[in-house]
Structure 1
Amino acid sequence: MTRYLTPSKLCVLWLIDLYLAGHTALSARLSVLSFIAARVHVAGAHNANDIDQLTEALTGGASDLLEPLQQWPSDVPGRNVYDMLLQRLWRLDGLDSLHVLFDQLSERITALAASDKPRTGLSRASPLGQYIRRCCVEFTRLQFADSQALWSAFVTYRAPTYDTWAHRNPVDAAAALAEGDVLSAGLESPARHGLAQPTNTAEAYLSTDDTDTLLTFSIHQLQKLGTRLPDSVKGKLQLWMRDQWDSGVQSLQHFLAFFEHWKAGQYTMALESLHRYFDYSLVAKSGSDNMRVYYQYALLHLSVLHADFDCWEESVEAMDECIATARENQDTACLNFALSWLLYLREAKPANHYSPFGTVSGLGGAGGGEQDEIVFLKAKAKETKHWSLLSSTLLDESKLDMYRSGMTARALEHIAQSAYLNMQHDLRTLMPVANLFGGASLDRLGQAHLAVRMYEDVDATHGKQSPITDRVRASCRLAYGAAQAGQYAASLRMLGDLASSARGVLKLEQRITGFTFLAQLTRSLRQGDLRAADHYFAQLLPLRSFGDPEMDFEVGLLEIDLLLQRQEPERALKSVNAHIRRLKGIASADIAHRLHFLVLKARIFALSGQPTKCFSIALRAASTARRHTLIPVLLEALAVLAAILNDLFEFGAAREICESALPWIYETRQVKLLAQAFVTLAEAHVGAAGHACTQGSGEQAQHMRLAEAQVERSREVYAGLEDRSGMLECLIMRTQLARWRKDDASVAQADALYMQLLADSPETDTGISGH
């Protein structure tokens, strides 16, 4: 493998010489220059997700490289730039022609540098000038055997273009046939120019510099996007680096292995690769200053690795040492990032955190509160113009406002500021996470349709340029929202498609698996299949140990639903109380989660026939949710409160609450809550007809007709959710209302539907038939 020069670089040099000689049309000069710039800086011309395209660009043949030039005309009528370049390439008749090429390019730069008068040409300091100078230096360093190998590789590299050149230059091709011993220069006959296929693999077209570019680009992909390398790219990199013993390449190789093992969930192997990366870095860089720089960044990665595997104490210790080293070396960028991570560690596991530095803001002489720490980090980010730190700190502040203080409007303001910084400074990796925070805040405000658009925007707008973690989180929320709305097939299909993109990343695979089980458990509970629900719940239990608050919350809700369907309200109440106590003990817990469990506690008391005991609980939860603008929790509390008022014979108040809450429920897209609200409203109308109306009056008949209409609407919603329990309850109410009207046909129809649902139920002995 050569050090720098490859056949593709020789083709680019000839194209530069063609451009400098003015053999391109005026209309195409800018396009050709852009093409040259993309080849000179090949890594900068590809996005972080285009690792396969970058590999193809570095290892592809001459046809792949030069064919785009066919679209641009040259200064010769009837000829494009591709024709002119092929004509030049096939004039090369031996190794001495390469010396002529480099001499011509060197003269162009030298002539311009020696001239005192301003003139057009190529400056030594320009990007093209630097590229040519390096190629000339690398060519002079080549030994004769290496130069000969480079020429042989070039002859093989240009061979696939022989047919095109011979078709457009028949005179030159005939001359080549007549003087084959001159033009072949390593090939037995000129005819083999068109027939020969590359005898070597891609290593003949790749240099050590290209390997370093691919390796650095791959590390950038792993570090920024959180994904893993494709197997084909990883295999090629391992093959190309096998015979390289340069310590710098060895260092990057182990750094690449560190990210690969980390995402694969191989904790021990990741630690070993990180230690080897640090050791080889010390060998590659001499001097204590370089050693310290590598040391502090190795500690930073070590702390992140420990945190990802829930080793919180080890993570804090590594981060403390990283902060101390960064302060000693006055590395502001590393220090600010480490302080931001220290704040995250304190929020994630406050009980396990003990740092000799105290709090983050304590390092700068500020107070000890979390708000003061965020102010400190924002000031430092603005001072050093570290915009990514400022954007992430604003998102941390919005999270603090949402979860702790309950100020969703203020949180949205910080999210908008972060999004503005992301667009202003092109912080593409932070744009998706800002969408996730924005969607979560809109969900809390009851704007479900806007939240869905925010989640969809992560993949539709940012696509593969966004970190895969953010894409998986957004897609999981969309899929679980579809399952909540009764679209189970679409939800599972979405999660199945997502699994292929996250294959090999253990944490993300576990998250996708968890949400798949959540969607299946939701469907099983609504269909009354308790045997399947027990199975899916058993599969979800190990996932609760991963410390994901979102997953743990959803599993807790479904566990209580499962206990209620098993007719075990005592165990359900104990589980709710346990969740409330645990959330009270966690300072970083979401206030919406605690209020949600309070509403569930009130619902359990109401189902147990104790309305007076749960009225104050539901009222307190509704009041707190209204104060913090938690619209979904407020609506659930109002639905429970209306059901309690029905049990307390306050039918007018229950009807007013339901009628005022229904438009909001439609906006929040809580489909099951909508069905429950219709049932509660029907019960309120029936209660009003029986207690507030004269027997046989028109007002009583009107209330009963309204009740029957609400029951039917509820049954339709339950049917869309495939909720058998809800449909059976609605059919029972429909039967009773039809008997009140003495409509035997409607009674028979409702009974038939009821018996059909019972026959189709997976388990008829689980208490469902007792509705």
Structure 2
Amino acid sequence: MSKPRYLTAPKISLLVLVNLYCSSGIPSSATIPVLSFILSYSYPSAPSAARAPRSDNRQDASCSIQAFEDVLQSHASNMPGRTLLDVFLKHMWEMNSFDALFDLFDRLGDLIARPREDTTQDEPLQRTYLSQTSPLGALVRRARVEFVRLQFDDAIKLWSAFIAYRAPTAQWTKRLAGLASSGVDIVAADMGLEPSDGLYEVAYGHLSEEEDGGLTLSIDDLERLLDVQLDRLQRLGCRVPDEMKDPLRDMLESSTAAPRQAHLVQFFDAWKAGDYTLAFDTLHRYFDYAMQARERIHYQYALLHMAILQADFGCFGEAIAAINETIATARENQDIHCLNFSLNWLQHMSKAYPKQMKRAGYMGMLGSEKEGLAFLKAKARETRTYNLLSATLLNEAKLCLLTGEPVPRAFEHLYQSSHLNLKEDIGNYSCHMLFQSALFSRLGVTYLSGVYCELLLNAYHHGCPLDECLRATGRRAFLVSNQALQRGRYEEALNFLGSIDPSSHRSLKSHQYIFLCTGLVKLRRAMHRTDWTATDALLSSLKPDSSTDPELSFLLAESRIDCLVARGLYSEAFSTIEELSVTLKEEGADVMQRITILLAKADLFRRSGKPEQGFSVALRAASVSFKARLMPCLWIAVGMLANILNSIAEFNAGARMLHAVIPQALENVDHSVSGTLYSHLGDSYMGLAGVKDPSTPQGARLRATHVSRAEMYIDRARECFKRVENLDGECAQLMKKAIIAKLRGDEQLAEEWAQNHNRVWEEGMGRIGHGDTRV
């Protein structure tokens, strides 16, 4: 049986409930629950980021008779001793003939008519009339129009479906059992027809063979169900749930013609699964539908999806051609929303993948990035496209951070966007939380950065895009591994990444992101443990491609440089740093990434015996970090300057600089940075002890004091390196302790520290032998 266009048995039951409400058959205490129930199954509710979605597989497209029982059974009616469910079922079973179905729609027509001034005494005094523009009025008017359009055969099928739908309630009460004793049709009972008669079998013999039991969805319900799935796929970037795939397939197969939304649902599911062949096939079918139906709005949005798919596939030249065609079509059709979204997407791609876009021939359509954002913001205000305006303000805040502009200006744009979200009810919470997490991380407030990630993952993950949830998970894992408050926190970070919902791995891009995050954590652990075999294996398996996230690509490049420096391959490390520096400058990359490269170059100069050249580079990095309020980079740069000052015998200046930044660095809870600063401070005090004259009592006392302080800071540095499992750093501090003991003349203590050094190194090598180096 083909699907009905609009009317189904559940909608007939909703109309009976509407008629009962308008006839004042519902008490005031049950008004809100009943109206909420009717509207929830008539009009889909807007999704909310802070509310978990319903687990109903049918997505509220059709309701069973049990749903009516659940909402009506707990409310008393105006009749003593009867519930609202009793009254509702009484009205349902009073429709005891095909002619009674026509009477129902005739009565519904009176509900939306204006009451006459000359009301007769026979007309009820208490009656609710529906406005033609109200939700209930629109429901009634469309139902009557669709019923009038029904052919006789379709009307008979609708009546048969309604009989099968209400059949399970025949024995609800004794009163109802008596009402239902006449059978499915009172006309047949008056004629003396029984189920064994031929005429009865012709009319109602197929009821026992109904497979759907009257629950067949209409085409309108199917389109609404597909709209819900499509909204979820577009908004969250996920795939169709496994429990929804089979019902959707059955519904589409039973329909004579697949709705246009079905092609888009299949396209998004195939795209996120990485099946680009099927994705292109279904998108072309969507193209064909748009051209055959002569609906140009579908054509331009199909072009937009084609551009996004081509970019995700890595074909930026084809993506630019498709987006240019989208912009031209949107201008022709005067679709401002599609035009603004296309320009915003093009602006985002030119910033996220500048090298690939320039290689594909894109020279910029909106001028500089500031000019482009100003244009988009002006257009969004003109057209009152508040979601685009909110996203543009947030992009301006991001631009302030990337270019090193004052942080208060970034906060200003952020608060403007947040105010717009609250005022216009824009569910853009995840982008704001991720931005605030990155902002506080740059300011050195690591705790707040982690809090925003946890808030997104625990409170708003239901309505947030999958990519942003994964980004928050990866950032939280990096924070856990960076903080490393105790041994084994790398395992905690890996367990945190491993606890991600398995459904996230069903999307190819999401799986690749989780793979890279897990590999980066393992790579950092292997480098700290000096496990170069595992490091080489991980670096070879984590080579990024053109579609990799730019932030992860830079982290991989930074890890490769750190590995080369730690292994003493200075020439290769310097070449890699220069190539990456030129690339970042051409792309106009994040100021934090450029400062990180400057610090790596300064450290390389220091290690290669040219501290004077490293001093100028580190000083420039410290100056830019201070202006941009990049506090972690500032602390590392100051530590680098202090180390260089120690190497040129300026111990007092180095110690003063370190004492100024160590208290702030400790608040960041980054033990790797803290251990490095403590190590440099210990070197400064050892240098100060060396310049004191031990022949005088005051000189000897100051020398002993400086050596004691140096030992204290070396112990602190050793504890920090131990917590992050930095084997080289921990062993270097143990060697310093042995040298100090030897300088004091205590050969036995020096031997003990040397043995501790060998023991720690052997334990570290033992952990490498039993460790897991797989990605």
Taking structure 1 as the reference length, what is the TM-score of the superposition? 0.88
- 1:128-169 CA distance string (max 9 Å, x none): 122123223333444444444434433443344456x2xxx2
The residue identity in structure 1 corresponding to 2:27 is A
2:130 to 97, 113, 122: 122
Tell me the residue number matched to 2:32: 30
CA separation in 1, counterparts of 2:460 and 2:208? 40
Q: Distance in 2 between matches of 1:387 and 1:46?
A: 17
* Structure-2 separation of matches of 1:634 and 1:500: 39
SS at match of 2:7: coil
Q: Which amino acid aligns with 1:390?
A: L
Give the structure 1 partner of residue 571 of structure 2.
570
State how far apart, in whole Å, the 1-side matches of 2:649 and 2:393 are: 49
Question: Where does residue 369 of structure 2 map in the other structure?
Answer: 370
Listed as ranges, the gaps of 5+ residues in structure 2 are: 120-124, 197-206, 770-775
Does the 8 A contact of 1:113 with 1:123 survive in 2?
no
User: Residue type of the partner of 1:618?
Assistant: A
What is the Cα deviation at residue 312 of structure 1?
1.9
- Give 1:129-528 correspondences, 5 Å limit: 129-161=137-169, 165=172, 169-173=173-177, 200-201=211-212, 204-246=215-257, 249-285=258-294, 290-291=295-296, 293-350=297-354, 352-353=357-358, 360-361=365-366, 368-428=367-427, 430-486=428-484, 487-498=489-500, 500-528=502-530
Equivalent residue, structure 1, for 2:688? 688
| Contact 2:62/2:221 (8 A) holds in 1 | no
How far off its partner does 1:176 sit? 5.1
What's the secondary structure of 1:342's corresponding residue? helix
Aligned residue number for residue 92 of structure 2: 89
The CA distance in 1 between the partners of 2:565 and 2:278, in whole Å, is 45
Deviation at 1:44, TM superposition (A): 4.7
Tell me, yes or no, if the aligned pair for 2:22 and 2:128 is still in contact at 8 Å.
Answer: no
Mapped contact 1:312–1:353 kept (Cα < 8 A): no
The letter of the residue matching 1:725 is D
Shift of 1:590: 1.2
Per-residue deviation at 1:550?
A: 0.5
Offset of residue 726 of structure 1: 1.8
With structure 2 as the length reference, what TM-score do the two structures score? 0.87
| C-alpha contact (below 8 Å) 1:43/1:217 kept by paired residues | no
Q: Is the 8 A contact 2:163 2:184 kept in 1?
A: no
Q: 2:194 and 2:580 mapped to 1: Cα distance?
A: 79
Shift of the alpha carbon at 1:512?
1.1
Change (3 A) 1:644 1:375: same
What secondary structure is seen at the aligned counterpart in 2 of 1:58?
A: coil
Asked if 1:72 is matched to 2:78, the reply is no
Range with greater deviation from structure 2 (705-714 or 84-93): 84-93
2-structure distance, mates of 1:116, 1:124: 22
> 1:94 deviation in Å?
4.5
Tell me the percent identity.
34
Say whether 1:652 aligns with 2:661. no
Query: CA separation in 1, counterparts of 2:47 and 2:323?
Result: 35
Tell me the residue number matched to 1:624. Answer: 624
The residue number in structure 2 matching 1:53 is 56
CA distance in 1, matches of 2:347, 2:5: 45
- Deviations, residues 237-268 of structure 1 (Å, cap 9, x unaligned): 2221224344xx44222222222222222334
**C-alpha distance in 1 between matches for 2:566 and 2:460:** 42
**Cα deviation, residue 551, structure 1:** 0.7
| Count of paired positions | 739
> Distance in 2 between the 1:16 and 1:574 partners?
76
* Aligned partner of 1:705 among 701, 704, 708: 708
Q: Higher mean Cα deviation, 742-751 or 693-702?
A: 742-751
User: What is the DSSP-based 3-state SS (H/G/I as helix, E as strand, rest coil) of the residue aligned with 2:73?
Assistant: helix
Question: Could you say what secondary structure the match of 1:546 adopts?
Answer: coil
Paired residue for 2:764, among 744, 761, 765?
Answer: 761
Q: Separation in 1 of the partners of 2:531 and 2:602?
A: 26
The residue number in structure 2 matching 1:721 is: 724
The Cα offsets for residues 75-119 of structure 1, whole Å up to 9 and x where unpaired, read as: 234443233323433454444443343333233334x36567897
Match of 1:4, SS?
coil
Which residue identity does 2:738 align to in structure 1?
T
Deviations 1:676-709 (A, max 9, x none): 1111111111221122353672222222222222
CA distance in 1, matches of 2:287, 2:80: 59
- Secondary structure of the residue aligned to 2:629 is coil
Other structure's SS at 2:215 match: helix
Structure 1 pair 81–603 and aligned structure 2 pair: CA distance change class (3 A)? same
Where 2:506 maps in the other structure, the secondary structure is coil
* SS at 2:211 equivalent: coil
Q: Return the offset for 1:389.
A: 1.7
Aligned to 1:204, what secondary structure does the other structure show? coil
**Partner AA of 1:435 in structure 2:** M
| 1:352-385 Cα shifts (integer Å, max 9, x gaps) | 4499997545xxxxxx443233222211211111
Conserved 8 A contact 2:111-2:128: no
Q: 1:596 Cα shift?
A: 0.7
**C-alpha spacing 1:507/1:202, structure 2 compared with 1 (3 Å):** farther
CA distance in 1, matches of 2:133, 2:312: 45
For the Cα contact (< 8 Å) 1:43–1:54, is it kept in 2?
no
Counterpart contact for 1:528–1:763, Cα < 8 Å: no
Contact 1:312 1:349 (8 Å CA) reproduced:
no
**Is the partner of 1:509 in helix, strand or coil?**
helix
> What is the Cα deviation at residue 465 of structure 1?
0.9
Q: Which amino acid aligns with 1:709?
A: M
* Residue correspondence of structure 1 range 524-535 to structure 2 within 5 A: 524-535=526-537
Distance 2:378 2:325 in 1: 23
Alpha-carbon distance change, 576 to 92 in structure 1, aligned in 2, over 3 angstroms: same
1:62 maps to 65
Contact 2:96/2:185, CA 8 A, preserved across alignment: no
The answer to whether the 8 A contact 2:330-2:338 is kept is yes
Q: Give the distance between the partners of 1:256 and 1:159, measured in 2 at CA.
A: 35
Instruction: Please report how far the alpha carbon of residue 451 of structure 1 lies from its aligned counterpart in structure 2 after TM superposition.
Output: 2.2
Q: Contact 1:359/1:373 (CA < 8 Å) preserved in 2?
A: no
Q: Shift of residue 172 of structure 1?
A: 4.0
Following the alignment from structure 1 to structure 2, what is the Cα–Cα distance between the partners of residues 85 and 24? 10
Aligned mates of 1:46, 1:433 — CA distance in 2: 15
Q: Distance in 2 between matches of 1:466 and 1:765?
A: 39
Structure number with higher relative contact order (C-alpha < 8 Å, ≥ 6 residues apart): 2
Q: Is the 8 A contact 2:165 2:214 kept in 1?
A: no
Deviation of 1:633 (Å): 1.3
Deviations 1:27-86 (A, max 9, x none): 222232222222221455888973753615334532134303333332234443233323
Aligned residue for 2:505, secondary structure, equals coil
| Distance change in 2, residues 1:142/1:580 (3 Å) | same
Distance, in Å, in 2 between the alignment partners of 1:8 and 1:46 is 26
- Give the superposition deviation at 1:751: 4.1
Shift, 1:519, TM fit: 0.8
- Preserved contact between residue 443 and residue 629 of structure 2 (Cα < 8 Å): yes
Q: Is the 8 A contact 1:59 1:202 kept in 2?
A: no
Moved more, 393-402 or 115-124: 115-124
C-alpha change, 1:760 and 1:17, in structure 2 (3 Å) is same
CA distance change for structure 1 residues 46 and 665 in 2, over 3 Å: closer, same or farther?
A: closer
Report the equivalent of 2:602.
Answer: 602
